[in-house]
Structures are given as structure tokens and as C-alpha cells.
């Protein structure tokens, strides 16, 4: 969530932090360089826009933005109508979060009329202070302990608060069956995956290994879960991970993609590429995973989309334009893909939402 939150964005993210990225260069683009993508349309135009996820009917995307042109001090949640937004810089989608605190990781509820997201507004109406994200020369993400999960309608009215436990609760998504919420929480002392019913009941922890488990999604048939995870192994790495987490921080620079059954059983590591592999999502077939990675980069800030089989074979690069591509999600009918990219940003650090027709 979805953060690296995560990596961001690795990022809420997935949490969404990527100011360290350098301005994108303008590369020559032809359909041959990204053959799976056709009819690419830009949907946002300025600021950091991330984690754009489809509505059940495939007509809307919910996403987070800090676009200063919209008067934003930190990320807020918006609902964007794809047909109206494509190629229209002046289009401003409606904000569905309250404008209080910082928000992240939004997702449509099964009825398509409500959106779940995480917010720090229970801690303060203002944006939370940003800690030192470069301490010790590390690239870090904040994991705010005031994040809780809320449900809002499309007019911005909060209809339900789902979590009220000290610690980080964020990166929520819904099962395709419409019966379960999957999210990341520190309520057990580590960043683990949890499930619950739509009303917040029947909480179950489904991952247990030390490290940051996040950015999770269900497979199309809801039988499996894919997610990103850090797995500190050495004594020094374990100590550093725990010390940073106590400060509300994580270092998302070493993460791999994992899959498990919907109840957490059958855990399997998919990638062993090194560096930061994150923001995974199932291909419509349920047999492949699309994700963002900088494993190929000598300097760390070049993130491209890749696709891989569930057993880690058949790695294929999907994007090549610009130095950042992530948060890919296929539309409900599998015919389109939405993602976030530095492309076409005029040499700035802006990250925008794009949509394209998917070509097998």
C-alpha cells in the first residue's frame, strides 16, 4: 500500500516518500519499447500522485496526492473519473478524505460507493512532522503510529472508523469476494499482515516473520495474497530493523516479493533479485505478478515494472520510460492497467497517474 508502503515508495509506501528521486530524463518512446502498453493516457498533472486503484466497475480510480496546486500540505485521498481526467491538466478530481492529517493507501469498498483509507487525523488535524529520513545515510520511510483505517463516502463524509489501536494500521485492500479487508499493522509489535471483516471484526494475523510485510493484494480468485517483505537476517540487520521501528521508521531498500494462501499458509518467496522489489499485483490470470524493482540499476533510483511467474521464473521487463514506474493495477476486466510514473513530467520530480490498454 501499499508502501513500501511502501517502498515508496517504496514506497505506504507505500506511506509514500520519494523526494530522493532525481528528475526524469525524456527518453525516446516507441510502442516497441513497452509492447504491453497501448493508448497511454495521463490522468494527473503535478505533484506526487500514487497508489491509484480501480473501482469495481472500472470507471474510477482512488489515489493519494500532495499536489501543491490543489493547496495540499501532505497527501490526501481523491477519486478520479478516468474518462473525465484523461489528458486534461485542468481537471481536479474531488477530494474524499477530510483534509485533516496525512492520508495513504486508499481502496474502493465492494459497493463502489465508499473508500477505505488510512489517516493520521486522530493524532492531529495538521500534517504530522516528517522525521529525519536520511539518518545514518539510510533511505527511510516513516511509519506513523497515528495511522488508522477509515471508510468514507464519495462526498468525503467519514462513515466508519475501523481501527482504534495504538500503532500503525494502513495499506488496506479488499478481497475480490468482498468479504475481507487485508492490511498491515504493528499491533503485534512488528509490521505484519492482518485480515478482518468489513466491519472491523474477526481480526486475524496471517504473517509472523520479522520484517516489514506490506503492500499486499489478493489474487483474482481471492485464494492467494502477494506482498513485499524485508527479512533482516544478520544480528546487525535485525538490531537495526528493531531500533528503526521503535522510532517509527523502516529502511525499504532490501525487499522481495512473497506469496501465500489467503490464510497465511503456504508462504513462498517469489523473487530473489536483491535491492528493492515491491508494489506487487496479480496478473488477471492469477499465474503471474507485476511489480516494481530497481534490481537492474547500478545507482538505486531507477524503478521499472516487471512481470514474473509465481515460481520466480520468466522475469520480463514491462516499462522502460523514465526512472520511476510503480503501483501497477489491472482493471477489473483485465483490459487496462493503471500505474504511476515520472514520465512526461517536464524534468521535474512529479509522479503522475497513467492508464493504458494492456496487450498480452
Q: What is the 3-state secondary structure (H, E, C) of 287-355?
A: CEEEEEECCCCCCCCCEEEEEEECCCCCCEECCCCCCEEEEEEECCCCCEEEEEECCCCCCCCCEEEEE
Predicted pLDDT at 9:
37
Answer yes or no: is 279 within a domain: yes
Rounded-to-10 torsion of CA 251, 353, 24, 276: 30
Answer yes or no: is 172 within a domain: yes
Rounded-to-10 torsion of CA 342, 13, 43, 111: 160
**Cell triple for 221:** 480468485
CATH number at residue 131: 2.120.10.30
Predicted pLDDT at 133:
85
> Considering only 12-16, 107-111, 112-116, 217-221, which range has the smallest mean pLDDT?
12-16
Domain span holding position 145: 46-290
Predicted pLDDT at 31:
55
Residue 230 near residue 250 (C-beta atoms within 8 A): yes
Predicted pLDDT at 6:
37
Answer yes or no: is 306 within a domain: no
Answer yes or no: is 224 within a domain: yes
Predicted pLDDT at 25:
33
pLDDT of 20 strictly over 80:
no
pLDDT of 179 strictly over 70:
yes
Answer yes or no: is 35 within a domain: no
Answer yes or no: is 120 within a domain: yes
Answer yes or no: is 241 within a domain: yes
Residue 288 near residue 275 (C-beta atoms within 8 A): no
Q: Indicate the number of domains in the chain.
A: 1
Express each pLDDT in 50-87 by its tens digit. 999 999 999 999 999 999 999 999 999 999 999 999 99
What percentage of the chain reaches a pLDDT higher than 70? 91
Answer yes or no: is 334 within a domain: no
Residue 298: how many CB atoms within 10 A of its CB?
6
> Considering only 7-11, 198-202, 313-317, 351-355, which range has the smallest mean pLDDT?
7-11
Amino acid at each position: 500500500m501499499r508502501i513500501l508502503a511502501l517502498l515508496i515508495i517504496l514506497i505506504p509506501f507505500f506511506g509514500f516518500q520519494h523526494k530522493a528521486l532525481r528528475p526524469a530524463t525524456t527518453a525516446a518512446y516507441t510502442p516497441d519499447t513497452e509492447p504491453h502498453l497501448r493508448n497511454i493516457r495521463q490522468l494527473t498533472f503535478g505533484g506526487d500522485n500514487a497508489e491509484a486503484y480501480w473501482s469495481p466497475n472500472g470507471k474510477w480510480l482512488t489515489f493519494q496526492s500532495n499536489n501543491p496546486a490543489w493547496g495540499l500540505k501532505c497527501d490526501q485521498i481523491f477519486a478520479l473519473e478516468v474518462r473525465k481526467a484523461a489528458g486534461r491538466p485542468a481537471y481536479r478530481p474531488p477530494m474524499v478524505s477530510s483534509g485533516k492529517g496525512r492520508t495513504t493507501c486508499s481502496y474502493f469498498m465492494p459497493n463502489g460507493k465508499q473508500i477505505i483509507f488510512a489517516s493520521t487525523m486522530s493524532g492531529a488535524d495538521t500534517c504530522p512532522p516528517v522525521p529525519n529520513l536520511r539518518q545514518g545515510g539510510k533511505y527511510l520511510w516513516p511509519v506513523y503510529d497515528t495511522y488508522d483505517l477509515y471508510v468514507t463516502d464519495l462526498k468525503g463524509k467519514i462513515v466508519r472508523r475501523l481501527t482504534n489501536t495504538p500503532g500503525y494500521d494502513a495499506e488496506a485492500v479488499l478481497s475480490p469476494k468482498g468479504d475481507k479487508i487485508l492490511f498491515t499493522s504493528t499491533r503485534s509489535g512488528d509490521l505484519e499482515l492482518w485480515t478482518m471483516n468489513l466491519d472491523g471484526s474477526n481480526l486475524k494475523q496471517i504473517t509472523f516473520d520479522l520484517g516489514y510485510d506490506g503492500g499486499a493484494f489478493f489474487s483474482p480468485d481471492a485464494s492467494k495474497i502477494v506482498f513485499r517483505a524485508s527479512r533482516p537476517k544478520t544480528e546487525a540487520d535485525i538490531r537495526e530493523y528493531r531500533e528503526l521501528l521503535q522510532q517509527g521508521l523502516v529502511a525499504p531498500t532490501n525487499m522481495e516479493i512473497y506469496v501465500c494462501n489467503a490464510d497465511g499458509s503456504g508462504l513462498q518467496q517469489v523473487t530473489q533479485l536483491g535491492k528493492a522489489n515491491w508494489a506487487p499485483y496479480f496478473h488477471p490470470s492469477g499465474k503471474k505478478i507485476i511489480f516494481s524493482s530497481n534490481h537492474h540499476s547500478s545507482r538505486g533510483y531507477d524503478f521499472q515494472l516487471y512481470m514474473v511467474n509465481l515460481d520466480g521464473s520468466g522475469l520480463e521487463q514491462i516499462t522502460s520510460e523514465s526512472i520511476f514506474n510503480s503501483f501497477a493495477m489491472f482493471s477489473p476486466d483485465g483490459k487496462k492497467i493503471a500505474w504511476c510514473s515520472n514520465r512526461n513530467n517536464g524534468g521535474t520530480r512529479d509522479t503522475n497517474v497513467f492508464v493504458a490498454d494492456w496487450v498480452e
